[in-house]
């Protein structure tokens, strides 16, 4: 993979973005433009308000398909210390975001990001968001194509795209290199999965299957296949055609029903499908036509990593079993966090990030590790990092170096790898402290000896909007206000059996509501029962169905859905990380601006 070089055109465009931000910020501070106008502009530049109000801002920087360099990691260490609160957060869409940034310092920060080839442009707002891609693209033994260059081409094409500057709502693109779908294409507006097509003469052609109009949020919708096969030459025109249909038909009056999934509900799938294909056919007449093989794909290539005949390929995807061969910490890390089997003879290894948080010291350590091994590093959609292009004789030293910065625990595809959105810590519309619950569940699993159960995922959102992707986890929690004994209290709805992979998606089924302080005990019971009862090779969803489904499993948790009297246990009426009584304090939702 070639080193990232800052393209002069990209640098010029980003410099213009920053100059305009400074101008608009000055007008805002002088009171010369409406707050609503500045809010929309700010969001389109990746700057998001926080519930603390005032001039506290969350700054989200794009890391297309999760790629990150040593220089960027070093800069993030400085950003965490000088602009934020000592750490940054990996999102489920492979971004990094930093909280509590002073608004007047944003231009300085944007220039620092630009200096290492990064932008915040269109990381928020009604735009084409960060283009995601499988974090093992180019290093996965199962892939049909290395989608890295394709994701880069999509990022380049849609950044600053004239159609994408004021969409009805956000638009999300995702790439996976095979049907395992580690990139989670099945719940995106445009989800792309590399596939093969065999002609009548036996010729095999690599291409894609494009899925359309998926989404999570309060009302999840599965993505739908546009056509059986999309050629490499037609891929970017297809994505642009999808975007254009959305721009033309999305609901601009009701933001709560403005995503592409609602267009399908209103117009019907056949009508939407016909419009996409019709626009694609005539798109060569457009000045933005991206037809043919993109230049970056021609330059970087997209040949798959391939399978090594002498090395068994590591299993991938949700529900992947992890088999430990030893009690030695290093051996257990190898079993859980190392991916093998690519024909180029390299291996990949995960650095585990608790709840997706990375401290400034960890950033500096990760940067040093990246340089030492000349590694290609990607962020994962489960809020971890993966080092690729390693050799077997690198692994012992890498483990020791990750141990020194607290990132060497076996985490990949183990129950301790809890995913959580920022929640009410900073988000205006969250009703619970999802990060606090994530930490409590992780601690409870550690105490119960269940933190290393393989093939089970827990995801948490602080509200119904699914930023924590609770719908597609084996155990999914979303925050909800409860009332007990005349008092408000933090609570969660537990979902069970969510799954995404193999070109299919199941959304979690409602089990029961729980007090926030009882949710860790519920997680321990469910994961403990799964670990005890599952059969060889059985995934969580199969075990759940065999056990009678979500409702039957919930029966064994009913005793946890009880609130004690406030005087008997006041802790149930205080959320995680808080010191005072629970109350819902919602701000203006910038998710729907």
pLDDT tens profile 453-497: 999 999 999 999 999 999 999 999 999 999 999 999 999 999 999
210, with CB counted inside 10 A (0-12, 13-18, 19+), is buried
Polymer length of the chain: 593
All domains of the chain in start order, with CATH: 8-115 (3.90.480.20), 144-300 (3.30.413.10), 307-375+384-411 (no CATH), 419-573 (3.30.413.10)
- The backbone torsions φ and ψ at residue 398, rounded to the nearest 5 degrees and listed phi first, read -60, -45
Task: Using DSSP, state whether 99 is helix, strand or coil.
Answer: strand
Q: Residue 93: which residues within 8 A CB-CB, separation 6 or more?
A: 129, 130, 132, 172, 381
Task: Quote the pLDDT of residue 420.
Answer: 97
Give the residue among 441, 422, 423 at the shortest CA–CA distance from 521. Answer: 441
Environment class of residue 162 by beta-carbon count within 10 Å: exposed (0-12), middle (13-18) or buried (19+)? exposed
In 30-99, alpha helices (H): 35-44, 70-82
Segment 392-403, tens digit of pLDDT: 999 999 999 999
Percentage, residues of the chain above pLDDT 70: 98
What's the whole-number average pLDDT of the chain? Answer: 95
User: pLDDT tens digits, residue range 537-581?
Assistant: 899 999 999 999 999 999 999 999 999 999 999 999 999 999 899
Rounded Cα gap, residues 382 and 66, in angstroms: 11
The whole-number pLDDT of residue 155 equals 98
274 vs 589 pLDDT, higher one: 274
The tokens of 33 are what? 């433009």
pLDDT the model gives residue 53: 78
Give the three-class secondary structure for 357.
strand
Tokens 């009690």 found at? 327
Q: Could you identify the residue written with the tokens 């700057």?
A: 47
Cβ contact 85:40 at 8 Å: no
The string of pLDDT tens digits covering residues 113-169 is 999 999 999 999 999 999 999 999 999 999 999 999 999 999 999 999 999 999 999
98, 84 contact by CB (below 8 A): yes
Is residue 428 predicted with pLDDT exceeding 90? no
Residue 162 DSSP symbol: G
pTM of the full structure: 0.96
Of 395, 348, 582, 353, nearest in space to 480 by CA: 582
Percent of the chain whose predicted confidence (pLDDT) is above 90 = 91
CB 432 within 8 A of CB 578: no
Asked if the model's pLDDT at residue 510 lies above 90, the reply is yes
State yes or no: pLDDT of 588 exceeds 70.
no
CA distance 362 to 135: 20
Label the pairing between strands 385-390 and 419-420: unpaired
| Residue written as token pair 């068994």 | 312
> 593 falls in which pLDDT band (50, 70, 90)?
very low
Sign of the Cα pseudo-torsion (72, 97, 160, 182, in order) = positive
Given this model, what pLDDT does residue 589 score?
64
Do residues 164 and 126 lie in contact, with contact meaning Cβ atoms separated by under 8 Å? Answer: no
Residues sharing a CB contact under 8 Å with residue 517, sequence separation 6 or more, in sequence order:
490, 571, 572
Spatial separation of the C-alpha atoms in residues 156 and 173, rounded to whole Å: 13
């Amino acid at each position: 993979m070639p080193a990232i070089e800052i393209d002069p055109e990209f640098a010029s465009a980003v410099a213009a973005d920053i100059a305009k931000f400074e101008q608009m910020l000055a007008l805002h501070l002088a009171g010369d433009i409406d707050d609503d106008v500045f809010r929309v502009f700010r969001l389109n530049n990746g700057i998001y308000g926080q519930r603390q109000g005032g001039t506290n801002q969350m700054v989200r920087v794009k890391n297309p398909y999760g790629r990150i360099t040593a220089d960027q990691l070093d800069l993030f260490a400085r950003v965490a210390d000088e602009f934020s609160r000592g750490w940054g957060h990996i999102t489920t869409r492979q971004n990094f975001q930093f909280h509590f940034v002073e608004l007047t310092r944003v231009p300085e920060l944007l220039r620092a990001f630009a200096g290492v080839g990064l932008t915040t442009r269109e990381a928020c707002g009604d735009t084409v968001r960060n283009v995601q891609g499988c974090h093992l693209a180019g290093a996965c033994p199962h892939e049909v194509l290395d989608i890295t260059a394709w994701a880069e081409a999509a990022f380049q094409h849609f950044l600053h795209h004239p159609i994408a500057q004021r969409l009805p709502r956000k638009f999300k693109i995702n790439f996976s290199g095979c049907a395992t779908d580690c990139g989670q294409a099945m719940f995106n507006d445009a989800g792309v999965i590399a596939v093969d097509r065999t002609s009548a003469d036996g010729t095999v052609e690599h291409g894609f299957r494009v899925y359309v109009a998926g989404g999570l949020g309060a009302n999840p919708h599965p993505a739908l296949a546009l056509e059986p096969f999309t050629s490499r030459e037609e891929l970017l025109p297809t994505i642009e055609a999808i975007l254009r249909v959305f721009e033309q038909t999305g609901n601009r009056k009701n933001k709560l029903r403005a995503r592409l999934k609602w267009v399908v509900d209103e117009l019907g799938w056949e009508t939407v499908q016909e419009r996409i294909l019709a626009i694609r056919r005539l798109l060569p007449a457009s000045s933005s036509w991206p037809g043919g093989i993109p230049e970056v794909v021609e330059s970087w290539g997209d040949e798959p990593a391939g399978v090594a005949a002498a090395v068994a390929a590591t299993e991938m995807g949700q529900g992947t079993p992890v088999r430990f061969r030893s009690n030695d910490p290093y051996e257990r890390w190898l079993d859980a966090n190392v991916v093998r089997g690519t024909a180029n003879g390299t291996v990949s290894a995960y650095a585990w990030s608790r709840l997706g948080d990375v401290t400034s010291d960890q950033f500096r350590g990760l940067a040093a590790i990246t340089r030492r091994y000349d590694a290609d590093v990607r962020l994962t959609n489960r809020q971890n990092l993966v080092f690729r292009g390693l050799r077997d004789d690198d692994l012992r030293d890498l483990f020791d170096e990750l141990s020194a910065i607290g990132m060497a625990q076996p985490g990949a595809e183990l129950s301790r790898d809890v995913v959580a959105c920022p929640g009410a810590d900073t988000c205006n519309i969250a009703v619970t402290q999802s990060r606090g619950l994530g930490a409590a569940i992780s601690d409870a699993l550690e105490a119960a000896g269940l933190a290393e159960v393989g093939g089970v995922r827990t995801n948490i959102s602080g509200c119904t909007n699914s930023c924590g992707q609770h719908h597609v986890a084996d155990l999914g929690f979303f925050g909800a206000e409860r009332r007990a004994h005349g008092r408000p209290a933090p609570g969660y709805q537990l979902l069970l059996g969510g799954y995404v992979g193999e070109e299919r998606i199941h959304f979690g089924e409602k089990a029961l509501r729980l007090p926030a302080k009882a949710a860790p005990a519920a997680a321990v019971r469910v994961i403990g029962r799964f670990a005890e009862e599952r059969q060889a090779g059985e995934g969580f969803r199969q075990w759940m169905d065999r056990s009678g489904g979500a409702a039957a499993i919930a029966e064994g948790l009913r005793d946890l859905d009880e609130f004690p009297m406030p005087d008997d246990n006041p802790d149930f009426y205080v959320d995680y990380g808080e010191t005072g009584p629970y109350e819902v304090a919602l701000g203006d939702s910038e998710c729907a601006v």
